[in-house]
């Protein structure tokens, strides 16, 4: 258990560089297995999910090495297509290994993937699509095994909802399948464009990624290449939100502009000033916010679900009423209890929360319920009077290399707190 002591009230000042996107890096690490030779991913943050991904690659037989922030992945000489429960259960991103391992070895075994408890997180679309490509699915003792001894074949498939993970699974499976694949109703998130662009660089033929229809012409082999993953839009929103709550002036370097637009516009509506440069953004917050907001998280290009709890932390400080709704995950607002413990007026309702903002927040003992909910509690603590003790069972470090340390470098009063 990690524990942090946060004394609210310190304004933030300075610059922070946005790292590569966790949700791009994780599928890219798995996709490297589709390629012959070596893949080099540049500028990768060593967050806990990436470390789990490295262990998973090694378990499967791949070589993994770091040189500074660059991660090299070497194709396995011998494969072990069995993923242990300890690694599968440590992160949702373990599901990305289904397609590449199946494509390369004709077999993969995976216990149910873990990750944040945001409500039911099914993987039926991943499995349905892979079965349509010729895989046979067997369940035994809580594990799934997929077999495709004669390889995967191209197909036409319409996703019943635009799942980000299932879109990524099926792009990876189709990249080296026999024949052509047509995917309809896919997710359009920027991380999907990044995955398709990387695979194309390795020799794949994937068209339409970023839109609702993707066409893939299967290729027999792909060759490992170097790739720099896109910057993390959720990390950018986290630092922008921290500046808004705490007050002060923070510059985000390497900020993805279009992908953070909706969050930054929300901050402007609350009274923050946002200056947009070519590759960096400066956020100035007067510390007092007003307006309230109505936000509904939807699939891209809608308001991102992962930014919703962060927006909630900002709107606790904004004089006015806010209504936040998530259409993707039922349990997105597990952090609402922590907000209330800090004195906020937050009412839970089906699909979301109502906030009566602008009331004083006071420090309290709280626990991170999940990754983004934990980051949201950290942000709220920056704007609270007195001291917050935040306990975290490893959720926040799964998604940020060192969020408390980076906020402290900007002037926040945060320090590790020894266990009792």
Q: Given the rule CB under 6 A, which residues bind ligand EPU? A: 22-23, 26, 92-93, 116, 120-126, 161, 163-166, 187, 189, 305-306, 328-329, 371-372, 399
Number of C-beta neighbours around residue 360 at 10 A: 11
Min dist CB 65 to ligand EPU, Å, is: 23
**Whose CB is nearest to ligand EPU?**
165
d(CA 221, CA 219): 6
Min dist CB 120 to ligand EPU, Å, is: 5
Question: Which residue do the tokens 């009423």 mark?
Answer: 321
Helix and strand numbers, DSSP H then E, in the chain: 13, 26
Token pair for 294:
């109505």
- HSE-up of 360 (CA within 13 Å, CB side)? 6
d(CA 12, CA 10): 7
The closest of 173, 183, 174, 191 to 213, measured between CA atoms, is 183
Q: Which is nearer to ligand EPU, 219 or 332 (CB)?
A: 332
Token pair for 365:
């003992």
Structure-derived torsion over alpha carbons of residues 180, 186, 189, 191, reported in degrees to the nearest 10: -40
Residue 116 among the catalytic residues: yes
Min dist CB 163 to ligand EPU, Å, is: 3
- HSE-up of 49 (CA within 13 Å, CB side)? 29
Of 54, 116, 188, 202, the catalytic one is 116
Task: State the Rg of the chain over Cα.
Answer: 21
Min dist CB 188 to ligand EPU, Å, is: 11
Q: Which is nearer to ligand EPU, 22 or 104 (CB)?
A: 22
Min dist CB 26 to ligand EPU, Å, is: 5
Q: Which is nearer to ligand EPU, 26 or 390 (CB)?
A: 26
- Are 8 and 388 within 8 A, CB to CB? yes
Active-site amino acid positions: 116
């Amino acid at each position: 258990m990690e524990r942090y002591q946060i004394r609210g009230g310190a304004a933030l000042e300075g610059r922070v560089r946005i790292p590569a996107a966790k949700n791009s890096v994780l599928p890219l690490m798995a996709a490297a297995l589709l390629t012959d030779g070596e893949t080099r991913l540049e500028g990768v943050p060593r967050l806990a999910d990436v470390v789990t991904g490295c262990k998973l690659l090694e378990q499967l037989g791949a070589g993994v090495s770091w040189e500074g922030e660059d991660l090299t992945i070497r194709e396995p000489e011998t494969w072990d297509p069995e993923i242990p429960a300890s690694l599968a259960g440590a992160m949702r991103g373990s599901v990305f290994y289904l397609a590449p391992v199946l494509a390369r070895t004709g077999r993969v075994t995976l216990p149910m993937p873990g990750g944040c408890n945001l409500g039911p997180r099914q993987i039926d679309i991943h499995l349905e699509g892979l079965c349509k490509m010729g895989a046979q699915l067997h369940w035994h003792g809580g594990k799934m095994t997929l077999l495709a001894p004669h390889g995967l074949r191209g197909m036409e498939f319409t996703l019943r909802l635009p799942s980000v993970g299932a879109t990524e699974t099926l792009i990876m499976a189709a990249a080296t399948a026999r024949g052509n694949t047509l995917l309809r109703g896919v997710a359009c998130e920027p991380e999907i464009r990044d995955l398709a662009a990387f695979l194309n660089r390795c020799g794949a033929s994937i068209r339409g990624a970023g839109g609702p229809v993707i066409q893939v012409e299967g290729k027999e082999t792909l060759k490992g290449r170097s790739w720099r993953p896109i910057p993390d839009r959720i990390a950018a929103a986290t630092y922008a939100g921290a500046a808004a709550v705490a007050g002060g002036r923070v510059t985000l370097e390497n900020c993805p502009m279009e992908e953070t637009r909706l969050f930054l516009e929300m901050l402007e509506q609350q009274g923050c000033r946002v200056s947009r440069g070519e590759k960096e953004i400066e956020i100035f917050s007067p510390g007092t916010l007003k307006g309230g907001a109505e936000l509904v998280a939807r699939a891209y290009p809608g308001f991102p679900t992962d930014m919703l709890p962060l927006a909630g932390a900002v709107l606790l400080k904004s004089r006015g009423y806010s209504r936040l709704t998530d259409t993707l995950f039922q349990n997105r607002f597990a952090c609402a209890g922590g907000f209330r413990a800090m004195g906020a007026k937050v009412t839970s309702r089906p699909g979301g929360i109502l906030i009566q903002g602008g009331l004083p927040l006071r420090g309290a003992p709280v626990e991170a319920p999940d990754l983004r909910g934990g980051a949201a509690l950290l942000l709220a603590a920056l704007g609270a009077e007195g001291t917050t003790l935040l306990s975290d069972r490893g959720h926040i470090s799964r998604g940020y290399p060192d969020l408390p340390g980076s906020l402290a470098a900007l002037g926040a009063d945060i320090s590790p707190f020894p266990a009792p």
